[in-house]
Structure 1
Amino acid sequence: MKRRFWLPLSAAMLYGLIKIGRKNQPSGKLPLTAYIDVAAATLWTEPHIQRSIDTPSLLNPADIRTWINNMSVDDKLWLVGKLETQALYGNKVTILDKKGKWVKVAVEGEPTPRNELGYPGWLPKKQLAFSKLMHKSSDKSFAMVKDKTTWLYNNKKLTKPFIEISFNTQLPVVNWVKNAVLVLTPGNGRKWLSAGSVNIYKSINDIPKPSKEDIVDTAEKFLGLPYLWSGMSGFGFDCSGFTHNIYKHHGIIIPRDASAQILEGEAVEKGDLQKGDLLFFAHDSGKGAVHHVGMYYGNDKMIHSPNSKSSIEILDDVWHSSYAEDYAGARRYLKSK
């Protein structure tokens, strides 16, 4: 759902936040940038918000699959409004603040009106790595995970698993052989990936321009994946995390939240919808705050991540569903070839 809408920070406010971040650094001082050192770091609205059931998500390594699988529907509903977003292994973040063992960061590559540096939230400091080598490798070719999840390995033969990582994880490429790719990690040196689980690009601009069928085909990979409030990984998505990540996989960066996604792209009339267009739904019969986003699948169908009680699905007839009366419009982010 993720529908909050805040105004962008002014330059003066942004400078003030950076000063706060510097002021709150511990002895030895934290750098202003760091890298996510777990498969998917979960960012919270406040530091120290946790239950015992959330422990797997707060460790390093984090076990997001176990965390999600162990939660009941009520456990998942409790997270609503308490989580901000997630950031993937190797994702660069800017440090904004620190309280005890927690750090507030802005996630690069997750656009939001709330902060021009990226989506903000709190996570345990132990889930970050401060890697000069990752920084120096930012202009190298990178491997992008194309499967829902895949494994990093300690050896080229891919027989010694290290950690399971998510769809859309991007790591700098050091070398590759026929069946395996050697990549740089934030805090654990070099590891290996199966060549069949990734695409390799020289830069974001090297990602091929997708067709509308490409967008929908990628979305279909996640049918049955659990909904997770603020989810941004192949372990679980929320509604806007799903649409954001499908487009990001094809080199198109759109806002993180539905409330911002509806403000960008190209407006589309209902009669002109094509596969891959985003459909938005809002309170007060479509005139209020946006509460949901899905992707047009063609033939009046919608593929979407509905809510904490369900999983990613294809809705057969969106115009005769419970969403119909809340329809607020559609946006197109895919330009015609």
Structure 2
Amino acid sequence: MFYGICNLGIVPLRKEPSHQSEMTNQVLFGEHFTILEKDKEWSKIKLSFDNFEGYIHHLQFQEISEDIYERIVNDEYTLSNEIIDFISTTNNDLITIPLGANLPFYENNRLKINTSIFNFEGKISKGTLDKDKIIHKAFTYLNTPYLWGGKTPFGIDCSGFSQMVYKLCGYKLLRDANQQATQGEVLSFIEESEPGDLAFFDNDEGEITHVGIILNNYQIIHAHGKVRIDTLDHSGIYNAELQKHTHKLRIIKRII
């Protein structure tokens, strides 16, 4: 078995081994993974955090040993906590990193990938936070443009948004909305929900295709065109600008 880690800020994860292929996810700095297959240019990988699979180009990650991989897996996550920040190498080269990037082996403003030492003096997020912090983190992404497969403040999709908000608070969600809907406790009514709970929405075929984070006062924050706040009722999401419901409510889940 081979292992790898992302050593660049934001790297696309492709559906197929081609730069022209659909981006289904992104790999952020410090995210680690197992390598399932590899050829001259591309590797099929499985991310450690959520088991999501896809293809990454060989020039956009470094291989690591099984020992380093296991140490990262067993270590507590330390994440960058600013919309954008940077780390510097010992040669003073800068690498820009987004909110939620992993900082492996972080200690005393330093982190390490293989034998490379990096300096980071920005704000960090570590450990599990109280549930009320979920809303605070969610508002950090407000007005982020929608991007299929995205999970940064420069472009994000609905499930990437919920996953990253929960990750910054120290909780694991799977990557796609239909996967996230399998987690947590089912709530019977909107009235039972609390800020930070998740609402899921389905299409005409009954497939769950959308997710958002419930706020106070029957509101929801979600990624649709951009990360926005709309009204949530028993039918679904009501967009006041369009004066119509845009998503049909399927289920409400409490994760924490």
- Normalising by the residue count of structure 1, what TM-score does the alignment of the two structures yield? 0.67
In the alignment, which residue of structure 1 is the partner of 2:228? 313
**1:184 is the counterpart of 2:112:** yes
Query: Does 2:256 correspond to 1:330?
Result: no
Aligned length: 245
Q: Which segments of 5 or more consecutive residues in structure 2 lack a partner in the other structure? A: none
User: Taking every aligned residue pair, what percent have the same amino acid on both sides?
Assistant: 24
Cα shift at 1:311: 1.7
- Please say if residues 151 and 161 of structure 1, whose CA atoms lie closer than 8 Å, have aligned partners that are also in contact: no
Instruction: Write the mapping of 1:6-17 to structure 2, written as runs, cut at 5 A.
Output: none
Once residues 241 and 325 of structure 1 are traced to their aligned partners in structure 2, the CA distance between those partners, rounded to angstroms, is 18
125-134 vs 246-255, which moves further: 125-134
Question: Which ranges in structure 1 are unaligned for 5 or more consecutive residues?
Answer: 1-30, 51-78, 111-117, 202-206
1:121 match: 54
Q: Aligned AA for 1:86?
A: Q
- Identify which of 171, 188, 191 aligns with 2:103: 171
User: In the TM superposition, what whole-angstrom CA distance separates every residue of 1:33-78 from its partner, at most 9, and x where no partner exists?
Assistant: 111121122111111242xxxxxxxxxxxxxxxxxxxxxxxxxxxx
Partner of 1:168, secondary structure, is coil
Structure number with higher strand proportion: 2
Letter in 2 for 1:249: L
Shift of 1:210: 1.5
- How far off is 1:258 after superposition? 0.4
3-state DSSP of counterpart to 1:153: strand
1:233 positional shift = 2.5
Q: After superposition, give the CA deviation of every residue in 1:257-295 in whole Å (9 maximum; x if it has no partner).
A: 1011112211112221110111111112xx611121111
Cα pair distance change 1:271/1:46, threshold 3 Å:
same
- Shift of the 260–190 alpha-carbon distance from structure 1 to 2, 3 Å rule, reads same
Residues in 2 aligned to 1:37 and 1:175: alpha-carbon distance in whole angstroms:
18
Match of 1:146 among 56, 81, 89: 81
* Pairwise CA distance, 1:128: 1.5
- TM-score normalised by the chain length of structure 2: 0.86
Query: What one-letter code is carried by the residue in structure 2 that aligns with 1:145?
Result: S
- 2:172 alignment partner in structure 1: 253
Q: For CA contacts below 8 A with separation 6 or more, give which structure has more relative contact order.
A: 1
Q: Which has the larger share of helix?
A: 1
The 8 Å contact of residues 9 and 28 in structure 2, kept in 1 or not, is answered as yes
**Partner residue in 1 for 2:153:** 234
Taking only aligned residues, the RMSD between alpha carbons, in angstroms, comes to 2.4
**Mapped contact 1:47–1:99 kept (Cα < 8 A):** no
Is the CA contact 1:84–1:230 (under 8 Å) kept in the aligned structure 2?
A: yes
Question: For 1:288 and 1:136, how far apart are their aligned partners in 2?
Answer: 39
Give, in angstroms, the shift of residue 235 of structure 1. Answer: 2.8
- Residue 87 of structure 1 is matched in structure 2 by 27
Residue 15 of structure 1 aligns with which residue? none
Counterpart-to-counterpart distance in 2, 1:108 and 1:291: 23
- Take 1:95 and 1:167, find their aligned partners in 2: how far apart are those partners? 25
Rounded Cα–Cα distance in structure 2 between residues aligned with 1:175 and 1:314 = 37
Residues in 1 aligned to 2:76 and 2:193: alpha-carbon distance in whole angstroms:
36
Counterpart selection for 2:3 from 23, 27, 33: 33
